[in-house]
Structure 1
Amino acid sequence: MTTLVINHGAGKSPPAGAAKTPRPAEPLAMPEVSVNGVVIAPKAIAAEVQNFPSRNPGEGWLAAARALVIRELLLQEARQLDIAAERKTDADSREETVDDALVRGLIEREVRVPVADEATSRRFYENNLRRFATPPLYEVDHILVGARQDDSASFAAARERAASIAAVLAAEPDQFANLARAWSACPSATVGGSLGQIAPGDTTEEFEAALVSLAPGEISAPVETRYGVHVIRLCRRIEGRTLPFDAMRERIEAYLDDHVRRQATAQYIALLIGRADIRGIPLDGANSPLVQ
């Protein structure tokens, strides 16, 4: 039996007038964990916990123990099948460990992964066309009346100024560039408020929502963001285009191969778990950190 120490008094202030004596740490008992009779060392689990952020020590311990059990199970299978540990080196000249090489060799040999053919890849492409489209681009001008949202008086004044500018532009839209040079707090004022071409995600949510609702040539009502109050003009919208299948085929095949490999690996681990004598923790293949 292994124990984790949990101090329930940490981070809590004592009641007024009470002595500031911390509550004693309470040990949390953890069962011995083993795989086919091989015990997973408590120190190893404790060291592994750092790789599994969790809400409490018990959850972290359980996740770490599961990861080490899966690893031990795979290593035992690799040795039983006499898998050769052919260590590889990555692009930074770092060589994998013998255990890593054994696990990789086992998965490569035992997990059968069908390769995505053209028909499968094309079907995925046609069912997910939005994933293969470039985003639209917007050519935009704006006038920013700068103010901080946490300064109520300043922000109220910015609203009034932006409303006045919008009223002028409703009657004289050709004055946009002049008003931007005179009033905008954005560096784009020097070029008449032009932001050039922007894409989704380049601006704040409020700015983008207003932009999407505009037709080319239209000027918005005042739009409030954390930077102040904007008046926006959409000059041109350039629609996104769907990239051709041939350009996306290699990427689609790599995605499908990885997806299928993960599923096949999860199924393989589940089979090993079903045959193994695992004690100390509940475990099933779906919860394996190796295949998430």
Structure 2
Amino acid sequence: MSGVAASHIFVDGAEIPASRIAAEAQNHPATAGRPGDAWRAAARALVIRQLLLAEAERRGLTATPERLDDVRLETAEEALIRDLLDEALIVTPPSPEMVQAEWQAHPGRYRSPSLWDAAHILCAANPADLPAMAKAEDRANRILGLLERDPSAFAELARAESDCGSKDAGGALGQIVSGQMVPEFEAALERLGEGAMTASPVRTRFGFHIIKVHAHAPGQVLPFDSVKASIGEALERAAWARASRAFVAGLVAAARIEGIDMEGV
């Protein structure tokens, strides 16, 4: 069967109406040029939901909704699915030896944040506006040419040219912590040594940046005792996710599903 959802989908003879799939599709982003992706993801999600609810009913579970926060309460269906997974999934917490082995195998994952003292000049443009982006890139290259001739003019040019509020401070961004900036900007910071400036403008969702790093303090590997609790929680979450996928895959394999390819669930 094709991977695209049909307009009529049945789970063990019960139809999932197209109207429900259309409503659910609003919660699933579509890839540019592939509008069927959202429909297919919505259909698969509803099939899984129906299978879980049917299994909860088969086990005789009853819904006891819990409060999610001060204003939100679980729906009866959400409560049933939560109770089902609590009953069906048996996840053993990782042993201390497993936690320590994970830390020893991947110490680089558990670091304190990197810190940078950096400045930038932003030539702003909306990435969806191609002429504006081209103009912004040309302007950034012009500024970069001036800086290549006189690097000491960075703060002066930032005050005159930058479209960021940091222009008033000569482009200075202060102390930047890893994870604080958009990925493209941070990747450029990672490549630069202290005192270095980007050789070409860096494109982000905000336009084009010229970036200069004044100082960099790389993150340090954290001692085991300070991260063992978070590693244990991460390992338990991963084990729960694996068990959940296996449980759903078993429900899918045992069901009669028409109108949508559930391969890979």
TM-score (norm 1): 0.63
| Residue equivalent to 1:89 | 67
DSSP 3-state at the match of 2:240: helix
What is the SS of the residue equivalent to 1:39? strand
Residue 80 of structure 1: CA displacement?
A: 1.1
Aligned 1:102-181 pairs, distance under 5 A: 102-139=80-117, 150=135, 158=143, 161-166=146-151
Unaligned runs of 5+ in 2: 125-132, 160-166, 202-206
* Whole-Å separation in 2 of the counterparts to 1:203 and 1:39: 43
Specify the alignment match of 1:40 in structure 2. 16
Q: Whole-Å Cα distance in 2 between the matches of residues 280 and 113 of structure 1?
A: 33
Q: Tell me which moved more, 91-100 or 259-268.
A: 91-100
Residue 76 of structure 1 is matched in structure 2 by 54
Q: CA 1:181–1:206 in structure 2 vs 1: closer, same or farther (change >3 Å)?
A: closer
Conserved? CA contact 1:210–1:220, under 8 Å = no
1:162–1:222 contact (8 Å) kept in structure 2: no
Deviation by residue 1:231-288 (Cα, 9 ceiling, x = unmatched): x574x5434222222221222122111111111011111112222222332224x33x
1:51 to 19, 23, 27: 27
RMSD: 4.0
State the number of aligned residues: 237
Secondary structure (helix, strand or coil) at the match of 1:251 reads helix
* Equivalent position amino acid for 1:107 in 2: L
Greater relative CO, 1 or 2 (CA 8 Å, sep 6+): 2
Which of the numbers 225, 228, 233 marks the counterpart of 1:249?
Answer: 228
Equivalent positions of 1:268-287 (< 5 A) are 268-284=247-263, 286-287=264-265
Q: TM-score, normalising length from structure 2?
A: 0.68
Residue deviations 1:63-86 (CA, integer Å, cap 9, x gap):
322222211111111111111322
Structure 1 residues 212 and 89: CA distance shift in structure 2, 3 A: same
Contact between 1:149 and 1:228, CA under 8 Å: does it hold in 2? no
Cα displacement (A) at 1:140: 5.7
Q: Does 1:98 align with 2:76?
A: yes
Q: State the alpha-carbon separation in 2 of the partners of residues 155 and 128 from structure 1.
A: 39
* Residue in structure 2 matched with residue 25 of structure 1 by the alignment: none
The answer to which of 80-89 and 205-214 deviates more is 205-214
Shift of 1:47: 2.3
Return the alpha-carbon distance in structure 2 between the equivalents of residues 120 and 280 of structure 1: 43
Please tell me whether Structure 1 or Structure 2 has the larger radius of gyration of its CA atoms.
1
Unaligned runs of 5+ in 1: 1-27, 167-175, 288-292
Q: 1:80 to 1:210 in 2, by over 3 A?
A: closer
The answer to whether the Cα contact below 8 Å between 2:137 and 2:208 also exists between their aligned partners in 1 is no
